[in-house]
Amino acid sequence: MSQISRTRAVHAGRADLAKLGVHAPPIDLSSTYPLDDLDNAISSLDAAVAGEIPAANPIYARLHNPTVARCENAIAELELCESAVAFGSGMAAITACLLDARQRGSHVIALHPVYGTTEHLLQSGLAGLEVTWCDAADVHDALRPDTALVLMETPANPTLALVDIEAVVAAAGDVPVLVDSTFATPVLQQPITCGASYVVHSATKFLGGHGDVIAGIVATSEARARGLRKVRVATGALLHPLAAYLLHRGLPTLPLRVESAQASAAKLARRLQRHGAVGAVHFPGLHGQDPLGLIGRQMTGPGTLIAFEVENRDAARSVMSAIRLITPAVSLGSVDSLLQHPAGLTHRVLSEAARLRSGIGEGLLRLSVGLEEPEDLWQDLAQALDAIREPKRLNIAV
Protein backbone atom coordinates (compact mmCIF):
# COMPACT_ATOMS: atom_id res chain seq x y z
CA MET A 1 0.00 0.00 0.00
CA SER A 2 1.36 3.39 -0.86
CA GLN A 3 -0.04 6.85 -1.16
CA ILE A 4 0.26 8.56 -4.53
CA SER A 5 1.74 11.95 -3.99
CA ARG A 6 -0.13 15.07 -4.93
CA THR A 7 3.00 16.16 -6.75
CA ARG A 8 2.90 13.10 -8.98
CA ALA A 9 -0.80 13.64 -9.72
CA VAL A 10 -0.10 17.23 -10.81
CA HIS A 11 2.89 16.45 -13.01
CA ALA A 12 2.12 12.99 -14.46
CA GLY A 13 2.22 13.01 -18.25
CA ARG A 14 3.48 16.60 -18.39
CA ALA A 15 7.26 16.23 -18.18
CA ASP A 16 7.88 17.22 -21.83
CA LEU A 17 5.53 20.23 -22.00
CA ALA A 18 8.16 22.87 -21.25
CA LYS A 19 10.33 21.44 -24.01
CA LEU A 20 7.37 21.71 -26.37
CA GLY A 21 6.99 25.34 -25.29
CA VAL A 22 3.44 24.91 -23.99
CA HIS A 23 1.81 24.86 -20.58
CA ALA A 24 -1.29 22.78 -21.38
CA PRO A 25 -1.03 19.44 -23.20
CA PRO A 26 -1.62 19.72 -26.96
CA ILE A 27 -4.67 18.02 -28.49
CA ASP A 28 -4.11 16.08 -31.73
CA LEU A 29 -7.40 15.48 -33.53
CA SER A 30 -5.95 14.00 -36.74
CA SER A 31 -7.72 10.94 -38.06
CA THR A 32 -4.90 10.22 -40.52
CA TYR A 33 -1.25 11.28 -40.77
CA PRO A 34 0.88 12.37 -43.72
CA LEU A 35 3.46 9.69 -44.52
CA ASP A 36 7.04 10.71 -45.23
CA ASP A 37 8.24 7.37 -46.52
CA LEU A 38 6.40 4.16 -47.43
CA ASP A 39 8.89 1.79 -45.79
CA ASN A 40 8.74 3.74 -42.49
CA ALA A 41 4.95 3.69 -42.71
CA ILE A 42 4.91 -0.07 -43.21
CA SER A 43 7.08 -0.70 -40.18
CA SER A 44 4.95 1.67 -38.04
CA LEU A 45 1.80 -0.09 -39.20
CA ASP A 46 3.24 -3.53 -38.43
CA ALA A 47 4.24 -2.33 -34.95
CA ALA A 48 0.77 -0.93 -34.22
CA VAL A 49 -1.01 -4.09 -35.36
CA ALA A 50 1.32 -6.11 -33.09
CA GLY A 51 0.22 -3.91 -30.17
CA GLU A 52 3.41 -1.89 -29.98
CA ILE A 53 3.57 1.89 -29.89
CA PRO A 54 4.47 3.04 -33.41
CA ALA A 55 7.71 4.99 -33.16
CA ALA A 56 7.78 6.88 -36.41
CA ASN A 57 4.24 7.77 -37.43
CA PRO A 58 0.80 7.04 -35.93
CA ILE A 59 -0.44 6.31 -39.53
CA TYR A 60 -4.14 6.33 -38.60
CA ALA A 61 -5.89 7.38 -35.39
CA ARG A 62 -7.39 3.94 -34.69
CA LEU A 63 -3.81 2.69 -34.33
CA HIS A 64 -2.39 5.41 -32.10
CA ASN A 65 -3.08 8.91 -30.87
CA PRO A 66 -0.50 11.03 -29.01
CA THR A 67 -3.05 12.86 -26.82
CA VAL A 68 -4.53 9.56 -25.68
CA ALA A 69 -1.03 8.12 -25.14
CA ARG A 70 -0.09 11.08 -22.92
CA CYS A 71 -3.12 10.47 -20.71
CA GLU A 72 -2.36 6.73 -20.63
CA ASN A 73 1.21 7.40 -19.49
CA ALA A 74 -0.04 9.68 -16.70
CA ILE A 75 -2.49 7.07 -15.37
CA ALA A 76 0.10 4.27 -15.66
CA GLU A 77 2.38 6.42 -13.50
CA LEU A 78 -0.32 6.85 -10.85
CA GLU A 79 -1.05 3.10 -10.85
CA LEU A 80 2.69 2.29 -10.60
CA CYS A 81 2.38 0.29 -13.83
CA GLU A 82 4.55 0.23 -16.93
CA SER A 83 1.69 0.98 -19.31
CA ALA A 84 -1.96 1.80 -19.61
CA VAL A 85 -4.41 1.40 -22.49
CA ALA A 86 -7.43 3.70 -22.80
CA PHE A 87 -10.82 2.78 -24.24
CA GLY A 88 -14.06 4.53 -25.13
CA SER A 89 -15.72 3.42 -21.86
CA GLY A 90 -15.14 1.27 -18.80
CA MET A 91 -17.15 -1.52 -20.42
CA ALA A 92 -15.03 -1.33 -23.58
CA ALA A 93 -11.94 -1.70 -21.36
CA ILE A 94 -13.38 -4.77 -19.59
CA THR A 95 -14.50 -6.25 -22.92
CA ALA A 96 -10.97 -5.87 -24.30
CA CYS A 97 -9.55 -7.69 -21.26
CA LEU A 98 -12.02 -10.54 -21.83
CA LEU A 99 -11.32 -10.77 -25.58
CA ASP A 100 -7.60 -10.79 -24.84
CA ALA A 101 -8.12 -13.51 -22.18
CA ARG A 102 -10.10 -15.55 -24.72
CA GLN A 103 -6.85 -16.15 -26.58
CA ARG A 104 -5.33 -17.85 -23.51
CA GLY A 105 -8.30 -19.98 -22.51
CA SER A 106 -12.06 -20.22 -22.53
CA HIS A 107 -12.83 -19.95 -18.81
CA VAL A 108 -12.92 -17.04 -16.36
CA ILE A 109 -13.54 -16.89 -12.64
CA ALA A 110 -15.53 -13.89 -11.40
CA LEU A 111 -16.02 -12.87 -7.78
CA HIS A 112 -19.37 -11.59 -6.56
CA PRO A 113 -20.45 -8.83 -6.52
CA VAL A 114 -19.35 -6.83 -9.56
CA TYR A 115 -20.76 -3.90 -11.49
CA GLY A 116 -24.14 -4.86 -12.97
CA THR A 117 -23.13 -4.51 -16.62
CA THR A 118 -19.91 -6.47 -16.02
CA GLU A 119 -22.01 -9.33 -14.67
CA HIS A 120 -24.41 -8.94 -17.60
CA LEU A 121 -21.53 -9.02 -20.10
CA LEU A 122 -20.10 -12.18 -18.54
CA GLN A 123 -23.51 -13.87 -18.33
CA SER A 124 -24.41 -12.92 -21.92
CA GLY A 125 -21.68 -15.14 -23.36
CA LEU A 126 -20.82 -12.35 -25.83
CA ALA A 127 -17.12 -12.67 -25.06
CA GLY A 128 -17.20 -16.43 -25.66
CA LEU A 129 -16.06 -17.30 -22.16
CA GLU A 130 -17.45 -19.76 -19.67
CA VAL A 131 -17.80 -18.18 -16.22
CA THR A 132 -17.57 -19.61 -12.73
CA TRP A 133 -18.91 -17.25 -10.06
CA CYS A 134 -17.46 -17.65 -6.60
CA ASP A 135 -16.27 -15.95 -3.42
CA ALA A 136 -12.65 -15.10 -2.68
CA ALA A 137 -12.27 -18.25 -0.56
CA ASP A 138 -13.27 -20.56 -3.45
CA VAL A 139 -11.01 -19.22 -6.21
CA HIS A 140 -8.46 -22.00 -5.91
CA ASP A 141 -11.11 -24.73 -6.23
CA ALA A 142 -12.65 -23.01 -9.24
CA LEU A 143 -9.39 -23.02 -11.25
CA ARG A 144 -9.31 -25.13 -14.43
CA PRO A 145 -6.49 -25.75 -16.92
CA ASP A 146 -8.22 -23.36 -19.34
CA THR A 147 -8.83 -20.57 -16.81
CA ALA A 148 -7.56 -17.40 -18.46
CA LEU A 149 -8.50 -14.70 -15.95
CA VAL A 150 -9.80 -14.04 -12.45
CA LEU A 151 -11.95 -10.93 -12.31
CA MET A 152 -12.76 -9.06 -9.11
CA GLU A 153 -13.83 -5.67 -7.86
CA THR A 154 -12.86 -3.97 -4.60
CA PRO A 155 -14.50 -2.04 -3.06
CA ALA A 156 -17.43 -3.88 -4.63
CA ASN A 157 -20.34 -2.17 -6.28
CA PRO A 158 -22.73 -1.36 -4.67
CA THR A 159 -22.22 -3.11 -1.33
CA LEU A 160 -18.74 -1.68 -0.70
CA ALA A 161 -17.45 -5.04 0.54
CA LEU A 162 -13.64 -5.13 0.49
CA VAL A 163 -11.88 -8.11 -1.08
CA ASP A 164 -8.31 -9.09 -0.19
CA ILE A 165 -6.43 -8.76 -3.49
CA GLU A 166 -3.28 -10.52 -2.24
CA ALA A 167 -5.31 -13.52 -1.09
CA VAL A 168 -7.05 -13.81 -4.47
CA VAL A 169 -3.74 -13.45 -6.31
CA ALA A 170 -2.23 -16.22 -4.16
CA ALA A 171 -5.22 -18.50 -4.81
CA ALA A 172 -5.12 -17.79 -8.57
CA GLY A 173 -1.53 -19.03 -8.94
CA ASP A 174 -0.34 -18.40 -12.49
CA VAL A 175 -3.67 -17.06 -13.69
CA PRO A 176 -3.68 -13.25 -14.04
CA VAL A 177 -6.02 -11.33 -11.73
CA LEU A 178 -7.95 -8.31 -12.96
CA VAL A 179 -9.06 -5.79 -10.33
CA ASP A 180 -11.76 -3.26 -11.17
CA SER A 181 -10.45 -0.48 -8.94
CA THR A 182 -12.95 2.19 -10.06
CA PHE A 183 -14.27 2.79 -6.52
CA ALA A 184 -10.80 3.11 -4.99
CA THR A 185 -8.92 5.21 -7.55
CA PRO A 186 -5.10 5.13 -7.46
CA VAL A 187 -5.34 7.53 -4.52
CA LEU A 188 -6.62 4.79 -2.19
CA GLN A 189 -5.06 1.61 -3.61
CA GLN A 190 -2.68 0.38 -6.29
CA PRO A 191 -3.69 -3.24 -6.98
CA ILE A 192 -0.49 -3.90 -8.94
CA THR A 193 1.46 -3.71 -5.65
CA CYS A 194 -0.77 -6.53 -4.34
CA GLY A 195 0.13 -8.75 -7.30
CA ALA A 196 -2.79 -7.97 -9.63
CA SER A 197 -2.01 -8.16 -13.35
CA TYR A 198 -4.63 -5.73 -14.66
CA VAL A 199 -6.06 -2.63 -12.97
CA VAL A 200 -9.28 -1.45 -14.62
CA HIS A 201 -11.06 1.85 -14.16
CA SER A 202 -14.27 3.22 -15.42
CA ALA A 203 -12.49 6.56 -15.86
CA THR A 204 -15.98 8.02 -16.32
CA LYS A 205 -16.10 8.13 -12.53
CA PHE A 206 -13.40 9.61 -10.28
CA LEU A 207 -10.58 9.95 -12.83
CA GLY A 208 -12.69 12.17 -15.08
CA GLY A 209 -14.36 13.47 -11.95
CA HIS A 210 -16.56 16.19 -13.43
CA GLY A 211 -19.39 14.22 -15.00
CA ASP A 212 -18.42 15.06 -18.58
CA VAL A 213 -16.32 12.13 -19.85
CA ILE A 214 -17.07 8.49 -20.66
CA ALA A 215 -13.79 6.54 -20.63
CA GLY A 216 -12.14 3.32 -19.53
CA ILE A 217 -8.53 2.45 -18.81
CA VAL A 218 -6.48 -0.66 -18.05
CA ALA A 219 -3.11 -0.26 -16.31
CA THR A 220 -0.77 -3.23 -16.63
CA SER A 221 2.67 -4.40 -17.74
CA GLU A 222 3.92 -3.39 -21.20
CA ALA A 223 3.75 -7.05 -22.33
CA ARG A 224 0.07 -7.33 -21.36
CA ALA A 225 -0.67 -3.84 -22.72
CA ARG A 226 0.39 -5.08 -26.17
CA GLY A 227 -2.37 -7.69 -26.11
CA LEU A 228 -4.92 -5.02 -25.21
CA ARG A 229 -3.74 -2.60 -27.89
CA LYS A 230 -4.09 -5.39 -30.46
CA VAL A 231 -7.72 -5.81 -29.41
CA ARG A 232 -8.23 -2.04 -29.57
CA VAL A 233 -6.76 -1.80 -33.06
CA ALA A 234 -8.97 -4.67 -34.21
CA THR A 235 -12.22 -3.63 -32.52
CA GLY A 236 -11.85 0.17 -32.62
CA ALA A 237 -12.93 0.74 -29.01
CA LEU A 238 -10.95 3.98 -28.86
CA LEU A 239 -10.95 6.85 -26.45
CA HIS A 240 -11.45 10.12 -28.32
CA PRO A 241 -8.54 12.58 -27.89
CA LEU A 242 -10.83 15.33 -26.53
CA ALA A 243 -12.04 12.91 -23.86
CA ALA A 244 -8.44 11.90 -23.15
CA TYR A 245 -7.54 15.58 -22.73
CA LEU A 246 -10.36 16.09 -20.21
CA LEU A 247 -9.42 12.93 -18.35
CA HIS A 248 -5.81 14.06 -18.07
CA ARG A 249 -6.99 17.53 -17.00
CA GLY A 250 -8.81 16.00 -14.02
CA LEU A 251 -5.81 14.08 -12.64
CA PRO A 252 -4.02 16.92 -10.78
CA THR A 253 -7.03 17.39 -8.48
CA LEU A 254 -7.75 13.67 -8.05
CA PRO A 255 -6.04 13.26 -4.64
CA LEU A 256 -7.67 16.44 -3.29
CA ARG A 257 -11.10 15.41 -4.56
CA VAL A 258 -10.89 11.91 -3.12
CA GLU A 259 -9.48 13.02 0.24
CA SER A 260 -12.12 15.71 0.66
CA ALA A 261 -15.07 13.52 -0.34
CA GLN A 262 -13.76 10.70 1.84
CA ALA A 263 -13.69 12.93 4.93
CA SER A 264 -17.27 14.01 4.22
CA ALA A 265 -18.38 10.42 3.61
CA ALA A 266 -17.06 9.33 7.01
CA LYS A 267 -19.13 12.06 8.70
CA LEU A 268 -22.27 11.27 6.70
CA ALA A 269 -22.01 7.50 7.27
CA ARG A 270 -22.02 8.00 11.06
CA ARG A 271 -24.98 10.36 10.90
CA LEU A 272 -26.92 8.03 8.62
CA GLN A 273 -26.39 5.23 11.14
CA ARG A 274 -28.15 7.30 13.78
CA HIS A 275 -31.17 8.23 11.63
CA GLY A 276 -34.33 6.34 12.51
CA ALA A 277 -35.42 5.81 8.88
CA VAL A 278 -32.14 4.14 7.95
CA GLY A 279 -31.39 0.44 8.46
CA ALA A 280 -27.96 -0.91 7.65
CA VAL A 281 -25.27 1.54 6.51
CA HIS A 282 -22.47 0.08 4.38
CA PHE A 283 -19.24 2.05 4.56
CA PRO A 284 -15.89 0.30 5.03
CA GLY A 285 -14.81 2.94 7.56
CA LEU A 286 -17.56 2.06 10.04
CA HIS A 287 -16.87 -0.13 13.04
CA GLY A 288 -16.82 -3.83 12.15
CA GLN A 289 -17.07 -3.32 8.37
CA ASP A 290 -13.48 -4.14 7.50
CA PRO A 291 -13.14 -7.59 9.07
CA LEU A 292 -9.96 -8.41 7.12
CA GLY A 293 -8.23 -5.20 8.19
CA LEU A 294 -7.69 -4.08 4.60
CA ILE A 295 -7.82 -0.37 5.37
CA GLY A 296 -4.25 0.50 6.23
CA ARG A 297 -2.95 -2.60 4.43
CA GLN A 298 -4.55 -2.61 0.97
CA MET A 299 -6.30 0.77 0.97
CA THR A 300 -5.27 4.04 2.55
CA GLY A 301 -8.88 4.89 3.46
CA PRO A 302 -12.51 3.79 3.19
CA GLY A 303 -13.41 5.77 0.07
CA THR A 304 -16.20 8.14 -0.75
CA LEU A 305 -19.22 5.89 -1.36
CA ILE A 306 -21.89 4.91 1.13
CA ALA A 307 -24.70 2.42 0.63
CA PHE A 308 -27.63 2.52 3.05
CA GLU A 309 -30.93 0.82 3.45
CA VAL A 310 -34.36 2.33 3.85
CA GLU A 311 -37.49 0.28 4.37
CA ASN A 312 -38.48 -0.61 0.79
CA ARG A 313 -38.65 0.66 -2.77
CA ASP A 314 -41.35 3.22 -1.92
CA ALA A 315 -39.15 4.73 0.75
CA ALA A 316 -36.18 4.73 -1.63
CA ARG A 317 -38.29 6.44 -4.30
CA SER A 318 -39.39 9.11 -1.80
CA VAL A 319 -35.83 9.86 -0.74
CA MET A 320 -34.70 10.16 -4.36
CA SER A 321 -37.46 12.59 -5.20
CA ALA A 322 -37.10 14.62 -1.99
CA ILE A 323 -33.39 15.43 -2.26
CA ARG A 324 -32.71 18.96 -3.51
CA LEU A 325 -28.95 19.47 -3.41
CA ILE A 326 -27.80 15.92 -4.13
CA THR A 327 -28.38 14.87 -7.73
CA PRO A 328 -30.60 11.81 -8.20
CA ALA A 329 -28.47 10.09 -10.85
CA VAL A 330 -26.42 6.98 -11.58
CA SER A 331 -22.62 7.16 -11.87
CA LEU A 332 -20.24 8.21 -9.11
CA GLY A 333 -17.03 10.03 -8.38
CA SER A 334 -18.25 13.40 -9.61
CA VAL A 335 -17.67 16.79 -7.98
CA ASP A 336 -21.36 16.81 -7.05
CA SER A 337 -23.00 14.18 -4.82
CA LEU A 338 -25.11 11.57 -6.60
CA LEU A 339 -27.76 9.24 -5.18
CA GLN A 340 -29.07 6.18 -7.00
CA HIS A 341 -31.13 3.03 -6.47
CA PRO A 342 -29.03 -0.02 -7.50
CA ALA A 343 -31.90 -2.53 -7.73
CA GLY A 344 -33.85 -0.26 -10.08
CA LEU A 345 -30.96 1.26 -12.04
CA THR A 346 -27.32 0.09 -12.14
CA HIS A 347 -28.10 -3.53 -11.25
CA ARG A 348 -31.49 -3.76 -12.95
CA VAL A 349 -30.13 -6.00 -15.74
CA LEU A 350 -29.52 -8.75 -13.17
CA SER A 351 -32.14 -11.27 -12.11
CA GLU A 352 -33.71 -10.70 -8.71
CA ALA A 353 -31.92 -13.80 -7.40
CA ALA A 354 -28.56 -12.44 -8.60
CA ARG A 355 -29.31 -9.08 -6.98
CA LEU A 356 -30.21 -10.62 -3.65
CA ARG A 357 -27.11 -12.84 -3.72
CA SER A 358 -25.07 -9.64 -4.09
CA GLY A 359 -26.93 -7.98 -1.19
CA ILE A 360 -28.91 -5.55 -3.36
CA GLY A 361 -32.36 -5.20 -1.87
CA GLU A 362 -35.21 -2.88 -2.93
CA GLY A 363 -34.49 -0.43 -0.12
CA LEU A 364 -30.77 -0.02 -0.88
CA LEU A 365 -29.56 3.43 -1.96
CA ARG A 366 -26.02 4.30 -2.99
CA LEU A 367 -24.60 7.73 -2.29
CA SER A 368 -21.50 9.02 -4.06
CA VAL A 369 -20.28 11.86 -1.88
CA GLY A 370 -19.03 14.93 -3.72
CA LEU A 371 -17.27 18.12 -2.76
CA GLU A 372 -20.14 20.08 -1.21
CA GLU A 373 -19.99 21.11 2.47
CA PRO A 374 -20.78 17.95 4.46
CA GLU A 375 -23.23 19.89 6.63
CA ASP A 376 -25.21 20.95 3.53
CA LEU A 377 -25.28 17.34 2.34
CA TRP A 378 -26.52 16.15 5.73
CA GLN A 379 -29.29 18.79 5.78
CA ASP A 380 -30.45 17.57 2.39
CA LEU A 381 -30.34 13.88 3.34
CA ALA A 382 -31.98 14.50 6.71
CA GLN A 383 -34.95 16.41 5.27
CA ALA A 384 -35.49 13.65 2.68
CA LEU A 385 -35.23 10.90 5.32
CA ASP A 386 -37.38 12.75 7.87
CA ALA A 387 -40.14 12.94 5.27
CA ILE A 388 -40.39 9.14 4.97
CA ARG A 389 -40.63 8.81 8.74
CA GLU A 390 -43.47 11.26 9.21
CA PRO A 391 -46.74 9.37 9.63
CA LYS A 392 -49.08 10.07 6.74
CA ARG A 393 -51.50 12.85 7.69
CA LEU A 394 -55.09 11.76 7.52
CA ASN A 395 -57.30 13.85 5.34
CA ILE A 396 -60.46 13.76 7.31
CA ALA A 397 -63.10 16.17 6.22
CA VAL A 398 -65.15 17.65 9.00
Ligand X SMILES: *Cc1c(COP(=O)(O)O)cnc(C)c1O
Q: At what angle do helices 90-102 and 222-235 cross, to 10 degrees?
A: 110
Q: Which residues 367-386 are close enough to bind ligand X by CB under 6 A?
A: none
Q: Are the C-beta atoms of residues 17 and 25 closer than 8 Å to each other?
A: yes
User: Which of the residues 6, 8, 62, 271 is marked catalytic?
Assistant: 62
Measured between alpha carbons, how far is 253 from 338 in angstroms, rounded to an integer? Answer: 19
Indicate whether 95 belongs to the interface with ligand X (CB under 6 A): no
Contact string (CB under 6 A) for ligand X, positions 121-160, x = contact: --------------------------------x---x---
Instruction: Give me the least distance between CB of 276 and ligand X, in Å please.
Output: 30
Q: Of 189, 202, 304, 337, which lies in the binding site for ligand X, with binding defined by CB under 6 A?
A: 202
Residue 35: strand, helix, or coil: coil
**What does the chain come to in residues?**
398
Instruction: Give me the least distance between CB of 162 and ligand X, in Å please.
Output: 14
Indicate whether 334 belongs to the interface with ligand X (CB under 6 A): no
Please choose, out of 18-26, 89-97, 120-128, 294-302, the segment that lies near ligand X by the rule CB under 6 A. Answer: 89-97
Parallel, antiparallel or unpaired: strands 147-153 and 177-180: parallel
Tally the C-alpha atoms within 13 A of residue 102's C-alpha that lie toward its C-beta. Answer: 16
Residue 225 dihedral angles phi and psi, to the nearest 5°: -60, -35
267 is catalytic: no
DSSP string, 42-75: HHHHHHHHTTPPPSS---BTTT--HHHHHHHHHH
19 is catalytic: no
Indicate whether 57 belongs to the interface with ligand X (CB under 6 A): no
Q: Which residues of 32-59 are buried (b: 16+ CB within 10 A; e: fewer)?
A: ebeeeeeeebeebbebbeebbbbebbbb
Smallest CA-to-CA distance from 135 within 359, 388, 394 is with 359
Question: Quick one: 147 or 204, whose CB is closer to ligand X?
Answer: 204
User: Which of the residues 33, 115, 198, 245 is marked catalytic?
Assistant: 115
Residue 344: strand, helix, or coil: coil
62 is catalytic: yes
336 is catalytic: no
Please choose, out of 201-209, 230-238, 287-295, 335-343, the segment that lies near ligand X by the rule CB under 6 A. Answer: 201-209
When CB distances to ligand X are compared, the closest residue is 90
Residue 130: strand, helix, or coil: strand
Parallel, antiparallel or unpaired: strands 305-309 and 281-282: antiparallel
Instruction: Give me the least distance between CB of 168 and ligand X, in Å please.
Output: 16
Distance spanning both ends of the chain, measured CA to CA: 68
Instruction: Give me the least distance between CB of 21 and ligand X, in Å please.
Output: 34
Q: Of 95, 182, 298, 358, which lies in the binding site for ligand X, with binding defined by CB under 6 A?
A: 182
Question: Quick one: 90 or 301, whose CB is closer to ligand X?
Answer: 90
Indicate whether 205 belongs to the interface with ligand X (CB under 6 A): yes
Indicate whether 216 belongs to the interface with ligand X (CB under 6 A): yes
Measured between alpha carbons, how far is 90 from 232 in angstroms, rounded to an integer? Answer: 13
Binding stretches for ligand X (CB under 6 A): 89-91, 115, 117-118, 153, 157, 180, 182, 202, 204-205, 214, 216
Active site (catalytic) residues: 62, 115, 180, 205
